[in-house]
Amino acid sequence: MIFKVFKKKELAALYELLAVNAVVGPVRKGTDRHNQPLNDFARVYSFADLALDYSTTVHSPKRFVLPYRKDLARFTVNEQKWRKETDLDTERPVVFFGMHACDINALNKLDKVLAESVYPVSSYIRKRRNMFIIGLNCRPSPQCFCRSMGTDSVLHGYDMFLTDLGDKYFAEISSVTAFNFLQQIKCRDPGPGDERQYEAVTAEKTARFTTEVDTSDLTKILDLEFYSPAWDRWGRKCLSCGTCANVCPTCYCYGVEESVDLNLQEAHKTRFLYSCNLHDFAKVAGGHNFRPLASTRLKYRYYHKHRGFVEAFEESLCVGCGRCGAACLAGITPPEVIADVRGKKKCVHGREEKHDE
Amino acid sequence: MTNRVTPYDTPGRHGRCRAGDPASFESSFQAEITNIYSLTAREKLYQIQLVDQEERNRFMFRPGQFVMLEIPGIGEAPFSISSSPLRHGNLELCIRAVGNLTNFLDRVRRGCSVGISGPFGTHFPVENMHGQDILLIAGGLGIVPLRSPLWEVLDNRNRYGTVDIIYGAKRPVELLFTYQYEEWRQFDINLQITVDQGDKDWHGSVGLITEILKERLNRDGDALAAKTCAIVCGPPVMFHFVCDMLIKAGIPMQKIFVSLERRMHCGRGKCCRCNIGSTYTCLDGPVFDYWSAMNLKEAI
């Protein structure tokens, strides 16, 4: 890995160099009821619009690789005959400016199932190949439990990763494109002082995490606790609205819908993202529903994230960004659910309490 | 232009979209429904032929696999292939009119053009069952995926020991493939049919599959464990009872095979609709040996 250091004001120059491409980054969208800023990823048209000091975004950057609705195929229908055409999936390059480690890790996890398994999804791969990612070290907010999931740092999947060292940025470079761009701005090799400063900043970040999830032996514990009453407790709260999957950076489940155009000559096949918490997720024609209860659907979501995906790819599908817990209308958060299933109350600041039951 | 982070993709020579690209995630074969036979009030047997002669010759499948059948603008759904893997030509799908797509299929006529992709999924390993006694247990529509391994066994009849089929339906009028029973029996098999509720024309047995199964299991005794392979398919509630009986009778779990059904939107391990845990019914299934199925929570 090559490291570079550059002054903070050089970042604007870097932005200008990159801005011939479409740029996506965190922008301030408004404030919530506690007057806290709400951020989200969006197309950026000026460096001043970037809110690089953001703690988290409401939605994940998932929609830029997995749009909520996408046409999979078009049909031209002519009497009894028809012709199916699929998109060429040509993509323009997109610069992602200021993505946190959890979201980069989330894309790496999506790659495993969408790009690196049998039947790769070409539209996803094209989008991924045309991404230029500038990562940004974050300051954890109270909801973050990425450290427990091992996703608080990222090893690959970005072009350049920046750490704020006060008046300068410490850049980790992992692609030749990023290296070439840094040649065009004023930057230097890091000295011993910079390295120490970098270590101090990451150590300080680590100390800031307040939420923890005990993931030791979680796959086995989930199997053992399959019939735990904890699932019913949380299932009774769950509204089955699918908000968690909407904001999740790694939820990729979808449904397919076909529709005929009004001229009756053309038809479309559309993919739309779905949520396993919605009532009809596993309902088959004829009316049988394999997961009719909110508790069984909630449980399935945790099993897929923390057990099934681990079984298939040796890592959890959850990156610990805490968005689902923050967005949940019923106040269901993964740290609390997992602690409850393990028979412990949520672990806050290292304190653990055994459940009364 | 030097600051482009990646070069633009070169647009395809054929404009914005392409048709029939085998590398596409959405690739499918054009096929034609060549014959439709009404089996009962709700189920029809569709004979389907790929339009392209070369593709038709290349199309191979194993018993128990499924295809995704698509009608433009109406929908796409998975269907078990119900014909013999060893006889080339028509694919046979037995379909009950029960949802959007299947109710549409119920109304189409011969010559209707459909899209077929696949075959997908795992299969019943009948090629490893040579020398074994075969026990096929089907409930209701469960006979549909079992007809394919049955035909493969019948087409190689001398390689297998005894062949037993136990098939149950709710009522006599709901029995499928009645016209073929005599043909099957000519292959020296023991076909036992039962209905939950007889009617005035029904002279066969009335009762649950499990009762007939009990007789069959008692008849063989210890020989069962050594050389019997069981293939089970039926409604979700049936698996539990039937598989329990088979295991109690001494058939090892890895020699019992089940075919599971789930909702599917892609058939290619992406949409997660068929997931049991994170096991995809479309990639890791639909055929599981009982050991694997039992280890999956909520599978059976």
Distance (Å, whole) CA A31 – CA B29:
52
Check CB contact under 8 Å for A93 and B4.
Answer: yes
From chain A residues 22-61, the ones with a CB under 8 A of any chain B CB are none
* ipTM (interface pTM): 0.84
Which domains can be identified in chain B, with CATH numbers?
A: 29-120 (2.40.30.10), 126-259 (3.40.50.80)
Report yes or no: B247 and B222 within 8 Å, Cβ to Cβ.
no
Rounded Cα gap, residues B93 and B109, in angstroms: 15
Taking the Cβ of residue B5 and every Cβ of chain A, the question of whether any pair is shorter than 8 Å is answered with yes
* Residue pLDDT tens, chain B, 300 long: 355 555 444 433 334 556 666 677 778 888 999 999 999 888 999 999 998 888 888 888 999 999 999 998 889 999 999 998 888 778 999 999 998 899 999 998 888 899 999 899 999 999 888 888 899 999 988 999 999 999 999 988 899 988 989 999 998 988 889 888 888 888 888 898 999 888 888 888 888 888 888 888 887 666 777 788 999 998 888 888 888 888 888 888 888 999 998 889 988 888 888 888 778 889 888 999 998 888 887 777
The per-residue pLDDT for range A97-139, each reduced to its tens digit, is 999 999 999 999 999 999 888 888 888 888 888 899 999 998 8
B170 Cβ under 8 Å from any chain A Cβ: no
Q: Report chain B residues whose CB lies below 8 A from the CB of A95.
A: 5
Q: Which of A119, A184, A316 is the best substitution to test chain B (most B C-beta atoms within 10 A)?
A: A119
Using a CB–CB cutoff of 8 Å, tell me whether A3 touches chain B.
no
Is the CB of residue B103 less than 8 Å away from at least one CB of chain A?
no
Alpha-carbon distances of B289 from A156, B223, B299, rounded to whole Å: 39, 20, 12
Task: Compare CB distances from B297 to A121, A226, A274 and report the shortest one's residue.
Answer: A226
Q: Return the number of CB contacts < 8 Å for A and B.
A: 174
Alpha-carbon distance A246 to A224, whole Å? 29
| CA max distance for chain B | 84
A258–B266 CB contact, under 8 Å:
no
Subunit contact A258:B73, Cβ cutoff 8 A: yes
Q: Do B266 and A288 touch (CB under 8 A)?
A: no
Q: Is the dihedral of CA A344, A345, A348, A349 positive or negative?
A: negative
Q: Assign B157 to helix, strand or coil.
A: helix
Which of B23, B27, B269 lies at the smallest CB-CB distance from A118? B269
Q: Which residues of A touch B284 (CB under 8 A)?
A: none
